[in-house]
C-alpha cells in the first residue's frame, strides 16, 4: 500500500508491504494519517500497523474544523511479582493501540523495566513496590511478616492511581492483580485468574477469600484469563462460585505464537519469580545443565541490564529477551523448563511445547497448577528441592503437552473492543 502521511510538525512519506510485514524506514511525525479506498486511518508515532490505529473514519465522515482529536485514554498496571503479570498484559497493550487508545503504563521493578523495553514509545509511571520476597517454603511465614508493607503499598498505589487518572484524563484502568489500582473517576477492570485463593487450613482460607472478595468489589468488572468452561487451564483457581457480579472470561493471554522454526537448542530454561528463589533455581539448574550433553539456553528474567555469556560450552545465558526474541528461542527449543506460574502456562499453551514445571516454593497457586497439569499428563512437574533434569527430560515422552491453538489466543479482542467503546469519551477541547 502506498500512502502519504501528514503530521503536525512535518510531512512524511512511508510505504508498508503488508504481504511481507515490512516497512521502509521513514521519519514519522507525531500524528499522521493515510487513506485507502474506503477509509481514513490516523496513527500516532511511527507509521505502521504496530503503532496503533487511533481512529478509523468512514469516507463520508469528517471532523469539525474547530475540534481537536480526542483519544480514549487507558492505564495498564500489572503487578510486579516476577514477569508473568507484565508479559500477559503485552497482547492487551498491543490491541489497545490497534483499537485507537492512548495507553499509559504503570508498574515497578523488573515488570516496569520489561514494559519500557517492549513499549519505549509509551508513557510509563512507577508505582509503589510491594518488595515481595520468598525466604522459606511456607506461604504463611513468607507473606505474614510482609503483609503490613504490602497493604501500605496497596494504599499508596490507590492514591497514585487516583492522581494519574485526574492528571491525565484517564477513562479506563486495566489492573493486573494490583488491588489498589482503581478510581471512581474511571471504569476499572481487574485482571486475575486467582478467584479462589489456595490457603492451607480452613481457618485461614475462609477469611483470606473473604478479604479477596472485598478487594474485587472495588472494581467495575473482573476479567479472567481463561476459558469459561471448567476446568480450563487454571482449574479451581478460576472456576467455582462467582466472586464478582460482572465477570468475563477473556480466554488465554499470551504474547507467544507457534510457527515452524529450525531447532537451535535442546532445552530452554526461562527463569522468573521473586528472589531469592529465582537465583536458587538458576544455580541448581546450571549445576546440572553443565554436566549434561544437551545444548541449553538460560533466560534469567533480569531486565535491569542486558547480559549475554556462556556458563559452559553447552550453556548460553542471557539476562532477558524481548517478546519476539524469546518467542524465537522457545520455538527453536525442543523442551522448556520454567516456573508453573499461570502466565508461563498460557505461554506454553500458545507455543504447543512440552515442558518441565517447577513451582516456586511456598507459592501454593503454582504448586496447585503444577500438580493439576501433571495429573493430566500434560507436563512434568518437579519440586525445586528435588530437581532431576535428566529424569525430567526422559519423563516428557509420557506427556502430551498442550496442542498449539487448542486455546485461542485472540478470544479477548471482542471483549476489549466492547469495553473500550463503552468508555465515556473525554470532553473535546476547542482548538
Share of the chain above pLDDT 90, in %: 67
Higher pLDDT, 242 or 144: 242
The pLDDT assigned to 135 comes to 66
pLDDT digits (tens, 9 = 90+) for 177-200: 999 999 999 999 999 999 998 887
The pLDDT assigned to 160 comes to 97
Q: Omega before 133 cis (within 30°)?
A: no
H helix intervals, 269-425: 277-289, 323-331, 342-351, 364-375, 389-395, 413-422
pLDDT band, very low/low/confident/very high, at 25 (cuts 50, 70, 90)? very low
DSSP string, 114-125: HHHHH-TTSEEE
Residues 335, 308 contacting (CB under 8 angstroms): no
* pTM across the whole model: 0.81
**pLDDT, average across residues 312-326:** 95
pLDDT digits (tens, 9 = 90+) for 164-179: 999 999 999 999 999 9
* pLDDT exceeds cutoff 50 at 26: no
CA distances, 404 to each of 50, 254, 326 (Å): 24, 12, 17
* pLDDT exceeds cutoff 90 at 146: no
**pLDDT, average across residues 23-50:** 40
Domains of the chain: 2-58 (no CATH), 73-253+411-422 (3.40.50.2000), 265-398 (3.40.50.2000)
- Residue located via cell numbers 481457618: 203
The pLDDT assigned to 168 comes to 96
Q: Which stretch of 103-107, 250-254, 258-262, 314-318 has the lowest confidence by average pLDDT?
A: 258-262
What average pLDDT is seen over the chain?
A: 83
pLDDT digits (tens, 9 = 90+) for 199-239: 876 777 888 889 899 999 999 999 999 999 999 999 999 99
Q: Which stretch of 24-38, 319-333, 391-405 has the lowest confidence by average pLDDT?
A: 24-38
* pLDDT exceeds cutoff 60 at 268: yes
The pLDDT assigned to 8 comes to 38
Amino acid at each position: 500500500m502506498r500512502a502519504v502521511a501528514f503530521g503536525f510538525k512535518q510531512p512524511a512519506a512511508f510505504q508498508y508491504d503488508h504481504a511481507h510485514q515490512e516497512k521502509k524506514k521513514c521519519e514519522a511525525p507525531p500524528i499522521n494519517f493515510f487513506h485507502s479506498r474506503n477509509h481514513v486511518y490516523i496513527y500516532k508515532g511511527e507509521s505502521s500497523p504496530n503503532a496503533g490505529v487511533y481512529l478509523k473514519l468512514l469516507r463520508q465522515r469528517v471532523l469539525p474544523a474547530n475540534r481537536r482529536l480526542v483519544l480514549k485514554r487507558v492505564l495498564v498496571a500489572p503487578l510486579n511479582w516476577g514477569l508473568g503479570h507484565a508479559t500477559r498484559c503485552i497482547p492487551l497493550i498491543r490491541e489497545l493501540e490497534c483499537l485507537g487508545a492512548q495507553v499509559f503504563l504503570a508498574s515497578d521493578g523488573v515488570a516496569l523495566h520489561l514494559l519500557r523495553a517492549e513499549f519505549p514509545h509509551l508513557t510509563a509511571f512507577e508505582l509503589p513496590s510491594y518488595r515481595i520476597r520468598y525466604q522459606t517454603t511456607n506461604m504463611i511465614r513468607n507473606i505474614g511478616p510482609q503483609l503490613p508493607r504490602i497493604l501500605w503499598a496497596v494504599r499508596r498505589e490507590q492514591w497514585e492511581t487516583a492522581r494519574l487518572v485526574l492528571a491525565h484524563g484517564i477513562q479506563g484502568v486495566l489492573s493486573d492483580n494490583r488491588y489498589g489500582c482503581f478510581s471512581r473517576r474511571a471504569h476499572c477492570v481487574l485482571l486475575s485468574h486467582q478467584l479462589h485463593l489456595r490457603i492451607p487450613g480452613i481457618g485461614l482460607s475462609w477469611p483470606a477469600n473473604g478479604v479477596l472478595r472485598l478487594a474485587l468489589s472495588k472494581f467495575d468488572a473482573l476479567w479472567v484469563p481463561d476459558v469459561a468452561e471448567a476446568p480450563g487451564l487454571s482449574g479451581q483457581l478460576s472456576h467455582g462460585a462467582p466472586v464478582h457480579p460482572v465477570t468475563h472470561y477473556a480466554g488465554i493471554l499470551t504474547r507467544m505464537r507457534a510457527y515452524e522454526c529450525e531447532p537451535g537448542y535442546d532445552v530452554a530454561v526461562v527463569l522468573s519469580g521473586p528472589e531469592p528463589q529465582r537465583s536458587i533455581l538458576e544455580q541448581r539448574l546450571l549445576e546440572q545443565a553443565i554436566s549434561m550433553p544437551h545444548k541449553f539456553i538460560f533466560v534469567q528474567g533480569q531486565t535491569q541490564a542486558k547480559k549475554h555469556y556462556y556458563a559452559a560450552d553447552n550453556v548460553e545465558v542471557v539476562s532477558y529477551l524481548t517478546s519476539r526474541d524469546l518467542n524465537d528461542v522457545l520455538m527453536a527449543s525442543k523442551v522448556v523448563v520454567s516456573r508453573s506460574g499461570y502466565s508461563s502456562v498460557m505461554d506454553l499453551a500458545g507455543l504447543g511445547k512440552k515442558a518441565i514445571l517447577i513451582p516456586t516454593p511456598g507459592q501454593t497457586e503454582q504448586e496447585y497448577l503444577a500438580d493439576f497439569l501433571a495429573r493430566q499428563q500434560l507436563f512434568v512437574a518437579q519440586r525445586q528441592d528435588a530437581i532431576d533434569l535428566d529424569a525430567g527430560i526422559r519423563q516428557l515422552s509420557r506427556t502430551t503437552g498442550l496442542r498449539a491453538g487448542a486455546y485461542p489466543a485472540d478470544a479477548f479482542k471482542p471483549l476489549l473492543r466492547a469495553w473500550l467503546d463503552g468508555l465515556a469519551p473525554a470532553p473535546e477541547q476547542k482548538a
